[in-house]
């Protein structure tokens, strides 16, 4: 008998509605616990949600005054100010607009002189400040989480990763001034120790990966499948990534009202 995925699924009409739902989830988290530690992925999927959170934070004094951010991953070998870095993305969307100082924004240096020492530094930081209250993740086209790439085994802690061919073609790198030589990422244990996880998935190109994630098979060849081991995962997606009827996958999301957010508890 097939097990149902242990995820809450919020399915929104399109990327904008998904971003609004994700931002609302982040706002609720910060109202409940203003000093939350958030582990944040970057990439195209969460960008708009972070912009919406920053807008809400500026409009609601106190909401974002105590939150702490840890950067999930980074392109190793790009300079910190390279426009393609996760660092620049988080500074542009959240850290800058909310005026978050270095005491509340931590994460990988993108060109560490000693990579192993950098991994130890992040591990130590998490031991002192973690676990995260909420970890926001994107889903890689090959099922990766952060730079936990598919392979024969996965690593539990902060580590240097060999970039997959899919990662090397990520659109974030379209604007890069150089080529990253490796990835720097939190490991699966770091992610799974987060109290809650919010996975954002958008677009028809992610539909096969999301469909696979909903299958009860945990394998390092599809790192996102390890989310089955966590008890508090919310998948926030759009209709393109999770068609109401899989046969409808070509149906334009614009057919649906922008406000139609369907909450499905599948467990
Ligand atoms: C990138 C990053 C991930 C990100 C993922 C999805 O390579 N390493 O942290 O979540 O791929 O990116 P996107 O949302 O642009 O599809």
- Residue 66: CB atoms within 10 A of its CB come to 12
Residue 203 in contact with ligand 1 by CB distance below 6 A: no
- Residue 37: CB atoms within 10 A of its CB come to 21
Tens digits of residue pLDDT in 205-226: 999 999 999 999 999 999 999 9
**DSSP assignment, residue 172?**
G
Residue 237 has pLDDT above 50, yes or no: yes
Mean pLDDT of the chain: 92
Q: Whose CA is nearest to atom 8 of ligand 1?
A: 146
Q: Any idea how long the chain is?
A: 267
Q: Which of 87, 118, 133, 149 is catalytic?
A: 149
- CATH of segment(s) 7-238: 3.40.50.1360
Domains of the chain, by residue range, sit at: 7-238
Residue 223 in contact with ligand 1 by CB distance below 6 A: no
| Res 5: pLDDT | 83
Residue 252 has pLDDT above 60, yes or no: no
- Is 149 known to be catalytic? yes
How far is the centre of ligand 1, averaged over its atoms, from the C-alpha of 167 (Å)? 8
| Res 246: pLDDT | 57
76 neighbors 111 (Cβ within 8 angstroms): yes
Tens digits of residue pLDDT in 24-79: 999 999 999 999 999 999 999 999 999 999 999 999 999 999 999 999 999 999 99
């Amino acid at each position: 008998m097939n097990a149902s995925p242990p995820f809450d699924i919020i399915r929104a009409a399109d990327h904008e509605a998904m971003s609004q739902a994700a931002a609302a989830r982040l706002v609720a988290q910060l109202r409940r616990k203003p000093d939350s530690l958030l582990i944040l992925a970057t990439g195209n999927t969460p960008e708009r949600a972070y912009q919406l959170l920053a807008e809400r934070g500026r409009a609601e004094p106190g909401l974002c005054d105590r939150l702490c951010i840890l950067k999930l991953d980074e392109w190793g070998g790009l300079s910190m100010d390279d426009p393609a870095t996760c660092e620049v993305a988080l500074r542009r969307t959240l850290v800058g607009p909310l005026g978050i100082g270095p005491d509340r924004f931590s994460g990988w240096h993108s060109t560490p002189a000693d990579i192993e020492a950098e991994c130890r530094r992040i591990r130590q930081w998490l031991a002192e400040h973690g676990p995260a209250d909420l970890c926001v993740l994107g889903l890689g086209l090959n099922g990766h989480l952060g730079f936990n790439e598919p392979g024969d085994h996965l690593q539990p802690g902060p580590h240097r990763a060999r970039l997959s061919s899919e990662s090397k073609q990520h659109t974030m790198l379209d604007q890069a001034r150089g080529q990253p030589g490796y990835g720097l990422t939190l490991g699966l244990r770091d992610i799974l120790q987060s109290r809650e996880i919010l996975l954002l998935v958008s677009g028809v190109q992610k539909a096969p990966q999301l469909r696979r994630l909903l299958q009860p098979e945990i394998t390092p060849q599809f790192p996102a499948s390890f989310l089955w081991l966590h008890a508090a995962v919310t998948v926030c997606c759009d209709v393109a990534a999770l068609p109401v009827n899989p046969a409808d996958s070509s149906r334009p999301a614009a057919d649906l009202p922008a406000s139609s957010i369907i909450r499905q508890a599948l467990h």
